[in-house]
């Protein structure tokens, strides 16, 4: 048997990433972006506002992804 032979997977394991993992990554990204927003606020406000908007979108996306699953 070569490396390309596929074995049956246990029930419930289709090889994809769990919905809760994706939601957690989106929420973590939102936190990272909020940290960047806080850091840039005094020096570059337009960029800080853009990062803040991206953080809000990532957080909302993570929460919606979590509630859909």
How does pLDDT run across 23-47, given as a tens digit for each residue?
Answer: 999 999 999 999 999 999 999 999 9
Burial-class residue 36 by CB neighbours within 10 Å (0-12, 13-18, 19+).
middle
* Whole-number pLDDT of residue 3: 59
CA dihedral 40, 41, 45, 49 (to 10 degrees): 90
Domain locations in the chain? Answer: 20-68
* Whole-number pLDDT of residue 12: 57
């Amino acid at each position: 048997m070569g490396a390309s032979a596929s074995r049956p997977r246990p029930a419930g394991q289709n090889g994809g990433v769990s919905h809760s993992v994706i939601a957690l990554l989106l929420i973590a990204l939102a936190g990272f972006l909020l940290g960047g927003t806080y850091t840039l606020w005094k020096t570059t406000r337009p960029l800080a506002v853009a990062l803040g908007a991206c953080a809000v979108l990532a957080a909302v996306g993570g929460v919606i992804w979590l509630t859909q699953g």
